[in-house]
Amino acid sequence: LKQVVSQHAHLPAETQDGQRVSLHLNLGLDLKQSYLQGLNIDGIGLYRSEIPFMMRDQLPTEDEQVEMYTEVLEQFPDKPVVMRTLDVGGDKPLPYLSLQEDNPFLGWRGIRLTLDHPEIFLVQVRAMLRASIGRSNLRILLPMVTSVSEVEEASRLIKQAYFEVAEEQGCAVGINLVQPQLGVMIEVPAIIYQLPALASKVDFFSVGSNDLTQYLLAVDRNNRRVANLYDAYHPAVLASLDEIARRCEELGKPVSVCGELAGDPGGALLLVAMGYRQLSMNSYNIDRVRWILRNVRSSTLQVMLAKALQARHPEQIRKMISNKMESIG
Ligand code: PEP
Ligand code: MG
């Protein structure tokens, strides 16, 4: 099977009836791996900027961050690179920042933390912008957004950073320093009901299905005692993903999925059926997802989705998907 999958690696990810899906890469520490060079991808859908922060014993300086981000942007010069601002807290501790909380997943994480420390946010965004001088592939993504005001505040800081950098570096605004597109992660359920309010403030959305599942089901994604309850195939999760796709379509805003579900071949099929046209995943899933998409028709996907949305239990959906996979080979 591996060989069959790799025979398709250079081909576009599209269904048999020509529905094209773009496949993006989630990037963390594996930046320097040689296998990335040969991967047929449409861009970086999620660069988890917190990972290099977690590997150090103090905050990287602005210059160090410029170096880190330059390395990523220059490796994919003609493809969009979505850099997420620092997403620490919850399950991602920083060794040099004390976070003692009773409910860390409901606490000080992601954008909440960085807006309380605008100096950290500003330095990071300045570094991203400096790294983007002379390029046009930087996109900025905000994690753990709950409210419109957070996006307004973050946008204000990004603008400030943009004009500071432009002036300091003597950049021609809009020419060798372009304003990066801004995106918001849909991972706190409250955001589903604020998409119209956010649409005019952002360029794209990206669904973090890992956290969305955790928060919709009120199940800690890392707690083994409740691991059996954490399930992205839960009917409520699928219904909300379907709803998000519809709402974004109505609003005319691009939306991708960058949680684990996008890299799960069965999950990818359901997401494409819902209307998602951008999926971002770990490197080892790219060619598997491409292959499975190249072996289905949209009409089949619609039948699968209709069944999945009617199912009462995740097991029914899994069974249906595994039957489908078997029939494909
Ligand atoms: C997610 O929550 O789905 C996501 C992509 O972000 P992370 O797993 O880094 O929280
Ligand atoms: Mg998340």
- Which of 118, 57, 58 lies closest to 85 in space, CA to CA? 118
Residue-by-residue DSSP string for 2-53 = HHHHHHTTTS--B-TT--B-EEEEEESSGGG-THHHH---SEEEEEETHHHH
327 alpha carbon – ligand 1 mean position (Å): 31
Q: How far is the CA of 75 from the centre of ligand 2 (A)?
A: 25
pLDDT at 298: 97
Specify whether the CB–CB gap between 121 and 154 falls below 8 A: yes
- As a whole-number percent, the residues of the chain with pLDDT over 90 amount to 86
Tally the residues of the chain. 329
Residue 98 is predicted with a pLDDT of 81
- Name residues with Cβ closer than 5 Å to ligand 2, which is an ion: 187, 208, 211
Cα 164 to ligand 2 centre (Å): 30
Atom of ligand 1 nearest to the CA of 26: 5
Distances (CA, A) of 79 to 50, 76, 133, 265, 301: 21, 6, 15, 24, 28
Per-residue pLDDT tens over the stretch 160-171: 999 999 999 998
Mean of the per-residue pLDDT values for the chain?
A: 95
Q: How many CB atoms lie within 10 A of CB 76?
A: 19
**Pairing of the two strands 43-48 and 204-207:** unpaired
Pick from 237, 177, 171, 170: which is nearest to 207 by CA? Answer: 237
- Tell me if 50 CB under 6 Å of ligand 1: no
Looking up tokens 């409901």, which residue turns up? 106
The pLDDT assigned to 29 comes to: 74
Between CA 329 and CA 327 the distance in angstroms is 5
CA of 271 to the centre of ligand 2 (A): 18
Is 179's C-beta closer than 6 angstroms to any atom of ligand 1? no
CA atoms of 57 and 55, how far apart (whole Å): 7
User: What local confidence, expressed as pLDDT, does residue 35 receive?
Assistant: 76
Dist. CA 211 → ligand 1 center (Å): 6
Answer yes or no: is the C-beta of 211 below 6 A from any ligand 1 atom: yes
Residue ranges of alpha helices (H) inside the chain are 2-7, 35-38, 50-54, 62-75, 111-116, 118-131, 148-168, 195-199, 209-217, 235-251, 265-274, 283-293, 298-310, 314-328
> Residue 260 C-alpha to ligand 1 middle, in angstroms?
8
- In tens, the pLDDT along 99-158 reads 789 999 999 999 999 999 999 999 999 999 999 999 999 999 999 999 999 999 999 999
Question: In this predicted model, what pLDDT tens digit does every residue of 243-252 receive, in sequence order?
Answer: 999 999 999 9
129, 114 Cβ separation under 8 angstroms: no
The rounded distance, in Å, linking the Cα atoms of 208 and 143 is 9
Spans of the chain below 70 pLDDT: none
Q: Is 259 in the pocket of ligand 1 (CB under 6 A)?
A: yes
For ligand 1, atom 6, the nearest C-alpha belongs to 208
Ligand 1 atom 4, closest CA: 208
Distance 166 CA to ligand 1 centre (A): 31
Starting from the CA of residue 212, give the closest ligand. 1
Going by alpha carbons, the residue nearest to atom 3 of ligand 1 is: 208
Phi, psi of 152 (to 5 degrees): -60, -45
Ligand 1 pocket check for 210: Cβ under 6 Å: yes
Kindly state if the Cβ of 209 falls inside 6 Å of ligand 1.
yes
pTM tops 0.95, yes or no: yes
